[in-house]
């Protein structure tokens, strides 16, 4: 069958059908493929349609330009801030899509070249195959804009080794392709010069057979280890500091370690941590900690209610101030309110986590098998295995 473009009038998601293969391309390259309402609706539509289509066997995801996806469309949320519940349906659909990514029945491959952050990473991590390159950049920087780590990552990050999840969520640490393989957040590393060839081979395979897909990816992939200066080699320090019960204790412990000889790498990380929203940091830490003992559906239901309460400004308007500073005025000088950690009390944070009436909660099944469970245990990084 000749390659064809489905719905050519729609530009934000390009869809190619080649026999039994479906290729989804996020197509907002000038905006780093951030996920808009239109994009989210189309992704949901096609994935639901193909899951019921016996002719569709293999689904490939990729991003146009220099990004896979930089996350959610922040301007969309900012523009809707004064309209009551204007973005709540977007949040509901996004978390439903996150859930569906973990239990989807057909073989999927994420071809992640370039920037992959925030909600965009939820289109990578749960896949059976998530392929990264030497150009891949991953991060969860939400606390820096007054938000918190969400889109199923309060489930996945706590399941990394030690306290890497807390470290990544609170600091917004950037990971390259090698580090993604080491943590288990990606499955295969393919040099960027071979990426297009891999995509063509997968399309020509014309099958969703798991073993066949894996065999082709392994032909192109190489074994990698984190670079010598990677923060993954600082696991003992990270665990020592980020195991603490509060953000204040974490920062104090991290400062102590940063004053020791040989720990100069901590300084810039600590500076960024202190510039983040105090409210965002406290919500982030609590979310990650609760996620350690919750199922995927429990995490997503909690994320939905926390996100709704943040967008409604339940205890702070920091998320809108952060977006303003980063993407609207671009002054990079957010005025957080409250401005200090001690003003963000436990009682205030409790308000954000309060359950809704049952009919207002995120409605997802509670007993589906989650394919990602234990995925990180396949990491190729021996020292991480040893700290489990």
**Catalytic center residues:** 72, 119, 142, 150
Which DSSP category does 57 fall into?
-
- Measured between alpha carbons, how far is 243 from 71 in angstroms, rounded to an integer? 27
Report residue 341 CA to chain centroid gap.
Answer: 25
Alpha helices in the chain (DSSP H): 37-51, 74-79, 88-103, 153-156, 164-171, 177-183, 195-205, 210-220, 235-242, 247-258, 266-275, 278-291, 296-311, 318-323, 346-353, 382-386
Scan for tokens 């239990």, then name that residue. Answer: 103
Which residue's entry shows tokens 């099944």?
365
Q: What are phi and psi of 358, to 5 degrees?
A: -55, -40
Q: What does the block give as tokens for 320? A: 């809108």
Which residue from 288, 175, 311, 164 is spatially nearest to 238, judged by alpha carbons? 164
- Helices 37-51 and 88-103: crossing angle, nearest 10°? 30
Rounded CA separation 113/91 (Å): 26
């Amino acid at each position: 069958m000749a390659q064809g473009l489905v719905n050519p009038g729609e530009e934000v998601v390009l869809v190619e059908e080649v026999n039994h293969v479906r290729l989804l391309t996020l197509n907002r390259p000038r905006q780093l493929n951030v996920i808009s309402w239109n994009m989210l609706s189309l992704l949901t539509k096609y994935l639901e349609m193909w899951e019921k289509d016996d002719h569709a066997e293999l689904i490939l995801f990729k991003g146009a330009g220099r990004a896979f996806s930089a996350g959610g469309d922040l301007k969309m949320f900012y523009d809707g801030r004064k309209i009551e519940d204007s973005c709540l349906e977007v949040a509901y659909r996004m978390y439903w899509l996150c859930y569906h990514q973990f239990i989807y029945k057909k073989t999927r491959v994420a071809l992640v070249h370039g920037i992959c952050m925030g909600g965009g990473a939820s289109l990578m991590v749960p896949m059976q195959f998530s392929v990264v390159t030497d150009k891949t950049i991953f991060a969860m920087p939400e606390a820096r804009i007054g938000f918190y780590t969400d889109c199923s990552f309060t489930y996945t990050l706590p399941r990394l080794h030690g306290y890497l999840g807390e470290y990544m969520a609170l600091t917004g640490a950037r990971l390259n392709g090698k580090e993604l393989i080491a943590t288990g957040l990606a499955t295969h590393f393919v040099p960027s010069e071979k990426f297009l060839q891999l995509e063509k081979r997968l399309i020509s395979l014309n099958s969703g057979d798991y073993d066949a897909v894996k065999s082709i990816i392994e032909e192109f992939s190489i074994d990698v280890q984190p670079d010598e200066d990677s923060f993954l080699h600082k696991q003992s320090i990270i665990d020592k500091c980020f195991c603490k019960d509060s953000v204040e204790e974490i920062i104090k412990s991290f400062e102590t370690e940063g004053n020791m000889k040989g720990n100069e790498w901590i300084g810039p990380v600590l500076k960024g941590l202190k510039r983040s929203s105090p409210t965002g940091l406290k919500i982030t830490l609590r979310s990650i900690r609760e996620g350690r003992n919750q199922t995927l559906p429990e995490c997503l239901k909690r994320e939905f209610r926390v996100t709704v309460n943040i967008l409604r400004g339940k205890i702070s308007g920091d998320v809108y101030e952060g977006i303003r500073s980063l993407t609207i005025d671009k002054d990079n000088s957010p005025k957080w309110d409250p401005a200090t950690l001690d003003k963000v009390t436990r009682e205030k944070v409790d308000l954000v986590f309060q359950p809704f009436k049952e009919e207002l909660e995120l409605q997802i099944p509670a007993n589906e098998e989650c394919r990602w469970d234990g995925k990180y245990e396949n990491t190729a990084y021996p020292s991480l295995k040893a700290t489990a």
